[in-house]
Structure 1
Amino acid sequence: MTRDRTTTTTTSTGGSIGAYLLHRAKPHLPPWLGVAGLGIAGSGAHLLWADSVGAGVGLTLSAVALTGATWWAGRETSAQRRLHSAITVAAGSAWMTGAALAGPLSGILPDTYLMGGAVLALSWNVRMALRTADAPTGSADKGLLAKVGLAKAMIGRTQVEPNRVTASVALEGGEQTNDDVARALVRIASALDLPQSAVRYQPSADSARRGELVIVPRDMLGEAQEWEGPSLPGGSIADPLVIGQYDDGSPLMVWLPGDPDAGRNASHFLIAGGTGSGKGDAALNLQTEILSRRDVVMWLSDPKAFQDFRPLLPAYDWAVEGGAGTEAMVEALQHVIPARTGWLGKHSYRQWTTQATETQTDPAHSCRPDRTPCGCPGMPYMVAWMEEAANTLRALGDDAFTGIAQEARSAGVSLIVSLQRPSYDQMSTSTRASLPSVIALGCDPRDEG
């Protein structure tokens, strides 16, 4: 009984392997069957038309017509597949014509058949193997694009994240532009059964027909998200400040100091939001994030007598409630900025970096003429925060911060101005132009622009 079971198991396993190999080979058989059929057809044609001049002319014209028809029929496919198909048909037709007139075993025809036929069949096998690896995704993408009127567009590299899919898109040259994708976004959202805001397109700055399609299946901002607290206590102010999250759940980060390696300048911020918009909570979170860093000092002017920020009072380098105190702070800033710029210049810093915070022991940043280490104390980054700035602007003029905003970045100072309505009658256009980064929280539609 043991011998019988062993024999049965071996036979079953051998049959399973054979069936598996046959199943895997089936998709690759058509090119080889085509080569075999071509050989049979060439031999039969020679028996019929070996001595016929008319048949030779007809076969030649038929070969040209069939190749042209293949090229025309492939206009909706990729350029590579169209060329591959046309070459295959042209080669097969030429051999068929030669075999019919001279005989399949004449001259180089048998060698051409064996070597050329094998090469063509293998080339289609390789193409099929490469296409199979990407067939499910490519098919779905093309089906989706065809539904929204972008059938000729090509989906390239795709990056899949937990709640975000980014796919590069290449449109048909001369027929489609990035504007076509922008108009199709609502249809893409409909096809995916998603809200329109979940689908967006980022056109390439270097091409009118290339860009990235971004899909966010789940809006992580549909419900209020509690702030998780400082992201990097004890870290550097040069590291990003996390002040919230995007709709795909990724962190919303901002930077204050510049970074010469990244080509980023220091930033000023304008925070705007009407009553009840959450401006106070956003400011409290951002200030806590800033004050948790080790190499920064903050000055605060708050005409509301620290109503929101009283728990943070011990952390400020200088805090005033408004009025004469704010006027003194603005005046002090106008003197502090050139002093900081002078210190950075003497120590060979083109802009503030984290190295400027430490004791200056590097000869490259010495203020001594002989370039020996000067040992000067370092200088931390500085943030000047003007809360409820409308009061200050009314008292000092709508361009009170213009000079400060224009000169502070080179001195390692960021100016943050917070008010409800940053309209022209509250703040000069010169000051607004010097505050390129904006945190807008529920502004009136007339002010959002």
Structure 2
Amino acid sequence: MSRARQMRRHARKMRRNGLQPVIVVNNDDHLPDLAAVVIGRALWRYRSELAPLYLALTLVITATALHHSQPTWWPYFLVTATLAAWALAVFGAGLGLALRAERFYAATVTMAAGAWLVAGTALGSTHRPLPHVLVAGGFVLAVPWWAHRRRRAKVRVDRQLSAWPQIAQTIGLAGSRVQSAMVDVWGWRARFALARGQTIQDVTTKIPAIESALGTFRGAVRVHPTQDDRANRFELRVLDLDPHASAIAWPGPSITSVTEPIDLGPFEDATAARFLLLRRHALIGGIAGSGKSGGINVLMGNLTACRDVVIWAIDLKRGMELQPWARCIDRLATTPEQARVLLRDAVAVLEARAEWLAGQGRRVWEPTPDMPALVIVIDEYAELADDVPDTAGHTDSIARRGRAVAVTLVAATQRPTQKAMGKGAVRSQMDVRVSFRVRERKDVDLILGQGMLTAGWHAHTLNAPGKFLISAPEHDTPRRGRAYLLTDETVAHAVTEHASLRPSLDQISRTAIEEAHAGVHLPVEDEQAEMPDSTEPALAPETALWVMLTGAPDEGIPVPHLVTATGMSRPWVYQRLRELADSGRVIQVTRGRWRAATDHRQ
């Protein structure tokens, strides 16, 4: 009994390591027959490692047979080997040889084997020095084959998958079977067929058990539907290395128009996580330190490169997050009162645009540099809901009616509470959902939508800043991505480069805002501050700008003061300052401070 237990324990250990025990039934056969079975099984099991030897034996047998039957055929073999080597070098990618080194190696082996076969056919396989050349050359060319990482990984995967029936029985997926498998740069993937009654949701709930059975690290297994989206099929992806282990530098803006899809970052298979923002609203969620701010920076870096979009922003942390982009933002609200006014003006803009479209017989607002889209970025939406609760009606209106008139809402939050995210139409109108790491499992459904956690969108398992899951019309399966990283220097460079590209609001929208302000009764102190002196006519914006610059002290005047004095937007002010600087009439003293040149000062 002790011996039997030891054998069973040994067999279980072999299965855990992906090895199948060799079972040989001996019915009193002779020893040579038993040895042949064992040797045959070993030769088949280690066929990948012994492939160079099999190739050498095949060459010897073929050359010997041809030398005795058709020794004059060697020119045809030479041409065939040359063409085959050339085809592998040029078209090998279509055969799975993705790397140039792999194609070069395959072509070299083909040419070397063909040359030896030609010589063996003409002279005979035992003609000196052909045997010595075959042994030496075969060993040299076999070393890259034995050392090749993907080949060794494929052998390991094949042996792991050979144990899948036992694994499936253990984890509760009995009857599922492997259909195909492929090794890639980061790991391997396999296609499976499920037994009757099993679905991909059953597989998703067993991901931890699959990781344990395969011996991978936590978070290494991904489960996706197959391309044909059949209910009884799924694709299993297992990572040996994390392609998102390190931060990925932002390569620059991926768009020049808001009508193009934005690249937020790469997925694990190196494809881009692109989504269209025009006529859609977006929700970005994640706890502190999850990389949410980095995702907003990627969004800002792309939007500021577009000539057909005006950006308004609300940052109730006194501009701490969005202040670096201030030169590219048309309006930045950092206090509750400023946020209230900004959202009220946004509603006025969408109503005026809707009225204009109706008068023109058109259904949608097509963004252009003269008639740009309006994107409102709200950082910490939960703070807005707490500090300015009376703006809920404005955000609801924008969410419900903003699509057709190209008024887009982008809300970001660290606290995806039911109070902040569950009221009104805002949350239900978000077509694009980006979730960085969340602390609790229930937060997954709050950000990505009801039922997404059960469907496999496990944002609570994201293990590095910048990793995200995106749910959008273009992306309906849970695929991990990592947002590009923008350093402070990158942001400053992007702002400097894009500030001159920023457009101003169209006349229809500006008029609507002016009418909205004219219809609002101001407090007495605000009336005194806002009403101009009747004895002193208002100056034109260009004149007011020049008066401020010529009267500026030596340390210069801040740009916000110029915006207030002219009544124009930041992009307008920066554009005029650049024109004056190019003509030598003004100089930039320090960042954000300007004055007239000495020769032009009063």
The 5-angstrom pairing of residues 29-428 of structure 1 reads 143-149=162-168, 153-156=176-179, 161-163=184-186, 165-172=188-195, 174=196, 176-178=198-200, 181-182=203-204, 185-186=207-208, 188-190=210-212, 192-203=214-225, 207-223=230-246, 225-232=247-254, 235-257=256-278, 266-344=279-357, 350-351=363-364, 356-358=366-368, 379-393=371-385, 394-397=387-390, 399-400=392-393, 401-428=395-422
Judged with a 3 Å threshold, the aligned counterparts in structure 2 of structure 1 residues 348 and 160 are, in CA distance, closer, same or farther, namely farther
Confirm or deny: 8 A CA contact 1:337 1:411 kept in the other structure. Answer: yes
Contact 2:311 2:330 in 1 (8 A): yes
Secondary structure of residue in 1 paired with 2:235: strand
Distance 1:338 1:444 in 2: 39
* Deviation digits for residues 153-186 of structure 1 (CA, Å, limit 9, x no counterpart): 45446676543655433234x3754455446644
Amino acid at match of 2:419: D
- Asked whether the 8 Å contact 1:142–1:151 carries over to 2, the reply is no
SS at match of 2:313: strand
Letter in 2 for 1:379: M
> Letter of the aligned partner of 1:384 in structure 2?
I
1:425 counterpart SS class: helix
Greater CA radius of gyration, 1 or 2? 1
- Which residue pairs with 2:66 in the alignment? 17
TM normalised by structure 1 equals 0.54
Shift of 1:300: 1.1
Cα distance change on mapping 1:139 and 1:246 into 2, 3 Å: closer
> How far apart, in 2, do the equivalents of 1:153 and 1:18 lie?
50
Bigger drift between 240-249 and 382-391 goes to: 240-249
Tell me how large the CA RMSD over aligned residues is. Answer: 4.0
Gaps of 5+ in 1: 1-10, 22-134, 258-265, 359-376
Q: 1:182 to 1:440 in 2, by over 3 A?
A: closer
Deviation, structure 1 residue 256: 0.6
CA contact (8 A) 2:160 2:214 kept: no
Asked whether the equivalents of residues 300 and 385 of structure 1 are also in contact (C-alpha less than 8 Å), the reply is yes
Rounded Cα–Cα distance in structure 2 between residues aligned with 1:144 and 1:236:
52
Tell me the distance in 2 between the aligned counterparts of 1:321 and 1:186: 45
Q: Is 1:230–1:292's contact at 8 Å kept on the other side of the alignment?
A: no
Taking the aligned partners of 2:340 and 2:330, their CA distance within structure 1 comes to 17
Residues 388-446 of structure 1, C-alpha deviation per residue, up to 9 Å, x if partnerless?
33443232437241121111122222201233323233455223222353334454426
Pairwise CA distance, 1:278: 4.0
Q: Distance in 1 between matches of 2:69 and 2:409?
A: 70
- Stretch deviating more after TM superposition (176-185 or 312-321): 176-185
Shift of 1:20: 12
Report the counterpart of residue 438 of structure 1 in structure 2.
433
Distance 1:442 1:12 in 2: 61
Amino acid at match of 2:223: Y
In structure 2, the CA distance between the partners of 1:179 and 1:226, relative to structure 1 (3 Å rule), is closer
Partner of 1:88: none
Q: How many residues align?
A: 294
In 2: Cα distance, 1:343 partner to 1:157 partner: 58
CA pair 197-444 structure 1, distance change in 2 beyond 3 A: closer
